[in-house]
Amino acid sequence: MKITSSTRIKTYIEEVFKFLLNEDKLKQWVDGLESVEYLFNMDEYNPVGAKFKLKISSEDKVNEYNGEIVAYDKPRLLAVKVFIDNIETGIIFNLESILFGTKLNSEVYLKHEGIYKKNGGFLFKWNVKKVIRGKLDKMKIAVENSRVY
């Protein structure tokens, strides 16, 4: 399943990109994010292949999710793969400089066939899209509130 979304953010592309990798900035728009732990030293100039562990709290427990950076072209592209409850989730962020800001396009891929039968496909996709849209809106507010001109 592929879900796409985009938003326009009123600041420089470099500022928006910082909110995709910096742990403190991620915490401003990823609810419950406790930490991002890289499993070995990440090369900040070419982090492709870097594996990480996300710790995200929900209700009364902290869940751990494994991930990997699969594509990187600062400040225009970041793609990661995260495994959430046996669902392989691919997330691609494409950024584009536009007049008066940045256009952020996101694509989310979910790989798990059983989930469609279990949750009714269309309804599940609609719910996931709503969650993603909410995250992008929250990121937009965080970036614009911290922008530097």
The answer to whether residues 5 and 106 touch, using CB atoms and an 8 Å cutoff, is yes
pLDDT for position 64: 94
How many residues are there in the chain? 149
- Cβ-based neighbour number of residue 36 at 10 Å: 19
- Name which of 117, 65, 111, 115 is nearest 88 in CA terms: 111
Rounded to two decimals, the pTM is 0.85
pLDDT for position 122: 60
HSE of 104, CA atoms in CB hemisphere, 13 A: 30
Lookup: tokens for 108: 């989310």
The answer to whether residues 111 and 9 touch, using CB atoms and an 8 Å cutoff, is no
pLDDT for position 116: 54
Bridge partners, residue 81, by sequence: 68, 90
> If you ran DSSP here, which 8-state letter would residue 50 be given?
-
Q: What is the mean pLDDT of each run of 10 residues along the chain (149 residues)?
A: 91 94 92 92 90 92 94 97 86 95 93 59 69 88 79
Domains of the chain, earliest start first: 2-146 (3.30.530.20)
